[in-house]
């Protein structure tokens, strides 16, 4: 069509009769209040607070963060934990969820088993890991008893302890999310591909993977945000003074050991900003993929 279409707004103005007020809309009021009071207000309060340092100009807190040697490296420390943990979780969850897409006798049991860790708190997982992976833990005793490995095993109170804990607690989440994406794809598509000559590898590569890509990106973002705010396991299973001094520990110390709420707010803002950058980057990759419905036609 060569004639310019009227803009959406003017169509609405000219065609839509003014609708009477719909009282059902009032149902959103409690949720809006909830968001305003418990999310928007604290966030803005924190943002403003972060620009009101105890001393110095309005950017002093941010200057402090990026010039103090035990503060700015926490970004890197946290990323070094959160990114591998997320990649491993999504990477392991994808093939397992793909295998679990077909209903079988074992499917329910395996799914249940894989999801159990989500019901355990991080503290419980940390306790269990200390008993199992510790220097005198079961794993170490077993390996030394059977002489499979005689060296010292250090999987707690360091980087690896926190990473393992993040994988244990984050995996069920990634698995459930990907499983729901995988089972949402019409299996007839794979069958159609097979009649056209695609073996199971090609079916995964050409049908499932492209249709799953947006979901995987979403899953990565959610799992990453979860892992990035790691705190209890970094303290209980890590070395909170050194290699696992993550950004949330820095914020906690500023707030509850130095009682500098302003600096703590600034650290929290920086933490949020880093998450936002990663999430925005990953979601921007989604524009490369097909994002429409994942069924193969009508009905």
Partner 1 sequence: MKHDFSELRLERVTRRFAGSGGNIFNALSELSLTIRRGEFIALLGPSGCGKSTALNCIAGLLPLSGGMIRLDDTRIDTLPPERRGFGMVFQNYALFPHMSVVKNVGFGLRMRGVSTSEIAPRVEKAMRLVQLTGQEHKLPGQLSGGQQQRVAIARAIVIEPPLILMDEPLSNLDAKLRLETRSEIRRIHRELGRATVYVTHDQDEALSLADRIVVMKDGVVQQIASPQEVYAQPANLHVARFMGYRNVLHLDVAEDRGDRVTVTAPDIKLTGVRKAPINGTRASVAIRPEEMTIVTAPAVENVIAGRVENVEYGGRDSLVDVVTPKGTVLHVRAPVNVAMGAQVLVQVPPERVLVYPQEAGNA
Name which of 8 and 298 has its Cβ closer to partner 1.
298
Name which of 163 and 294 has its Cβ closer to partner 1.
294
Tokens coding 91: 């990477």
Which of 12-20, 27-35, 102-110, 191-199 is the region at the interface with partner 1 (rule: CB under 8 A)? 191-199
Least distance to partner 1, CB of residue 88, Å: 27
Q: Kindly state whether residue 193 participates in binding partner 1, applying the rule CB under 8 A.
A: yes
Q: Kindly state whether residue 207 participates in binding partner 1, applying the rule CB under 8 A.
A: yes
Please pick, from the candidates 28, 99, 199, 259, the single residue that binds partner 1 as defined by CB under 8 A: 199
Which of 20-28, 33-41, 184-192, 276-284 is the region at the interface with partner 1 (rule: CB under 8 A)? 184-192
Which of 182, 215, 224, 230 is closest to 87 using CA atoms?
A: 224
Q: Kindly state whether residue 296 participates in binding partner 1, applying the rule CB under 8 A.
A: yes
| Spatial distance between the Cα atoms of 263 and 274, rounded to a whole number of angstroms | 17
Which of 268, 242, 271 is closest to 256 using CA atoms?
A: 268
Say if residues 136 and 200 touch (Cβ distance below 8 Å). Answer: no
| Spatial distance between the Cα atoms of 52 and 260, rounded to a whole number of angstroms | 11
Which of 98, 107, 130, 113 is closest to 172 using CA atoms?
A: 113
Name which of 15 and 102 has its Cβ closer to partner 1.
102
Helix axes 60-67, 261-285, angle to 10 degrees: 70
Q: Kindly state whether residue 287 participates in binding partner 1, applying the rule CB under 8 A.
A: no
Least distance to partner 1, CB of residue 290, Å: 3
Q: Kindly state whether residue 289 participates in binding partner 1, applying the rule CB under 8 A.
A: yes
Helix axes 107-115, 159-183, angle to 10 degrees: 140
Please pick, from the candidates 194, 218, 255, 261, the single residue that binds partner 1 as defined by CB under 8 A: 194
Least distance to partner 1, CB of residue 207, Å: 6
Say if residues 185 and 213 touch (Cβ distance below 8 Å). Answer: no
Q: Kindly state whether residue 285 participates in binding partner 1, applying the rule CB under 8 A.
A: no
Tokens coding 6: 């009227």
Q: Kindly state whether residue 273 participates in binding partner 1, applying the rule CB under 8 A.
A: no
Please pick, from the candidates 96, 143, 176, 192, the single residue that binds partner 1 as defined by CB under 8 A: 192
Which of 114, 78, 81, 79 is closest to 99 using CA atoms?
A: 114
Residues that bind partner 1 (CB under 8 A): 186, 188-189, 191-199, 202, 206-207, 210-211, 289-290, 292-299
């Amino acid at each position: 069509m060569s004639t310019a279409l009227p803009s959406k707004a003017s169509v609405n103005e000219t065609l839509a009769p003014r609708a009477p007020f719909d009282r059902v809309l009032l149902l959103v009021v409690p949720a809006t209040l909830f968001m305003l009071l418990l999310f928007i207000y604290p966030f803005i309060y924190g943002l403003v607070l972060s620009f009101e340092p105890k001393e110095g100009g309005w950017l002093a807190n941010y200057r402090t963060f990026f010039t103090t040697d035990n503060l700015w490296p926490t970004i890197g420390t946290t990323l070094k934990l959160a990114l591998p943990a997320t990649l491993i979780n999504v990477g392991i969850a994808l093939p397992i969820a793909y295998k679990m897409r077909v209903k079988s006798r074992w499917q329910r049991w395996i799914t249940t088993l894989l999801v159990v860790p989500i019901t355990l708190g991080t503290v419980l997982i940390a306790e269990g890991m200390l008993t199992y992976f510790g220097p005198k833990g079961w794993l170490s005793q077993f390996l030394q008893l059977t002489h499979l490995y005689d060296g010292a095993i250090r999987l707690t109170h360091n980087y690896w302890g926190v990473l393992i804990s993040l994988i244990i607690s984050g995996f069920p989440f990634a698995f459930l999310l990907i499983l729901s994406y995988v089972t949402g794809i019409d299996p007839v598509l794979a069958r159609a591909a097979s009649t056209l000559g695609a073996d199971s590898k090609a079916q995964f590569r050409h049908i499932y993977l492209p249709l799953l890509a947006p979901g995987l990106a979403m899953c990565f973002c959610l799992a990453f945000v979860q892992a990035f705010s790691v705190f209890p396991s970094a303290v209980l299973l890590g070395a909170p003074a050194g290699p696992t001094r993550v950004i949330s520990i820095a914020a906690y110390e500023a707030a509850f050991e130095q009682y500098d709420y302003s600096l703590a707010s600034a650290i929290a803002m920086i933490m949020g900003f880093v998450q936002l950058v990663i999430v925005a980057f990953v979601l921007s990759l989604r524009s490369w993929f097909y994002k429409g419905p994942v069924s193969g036609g009508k009905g």
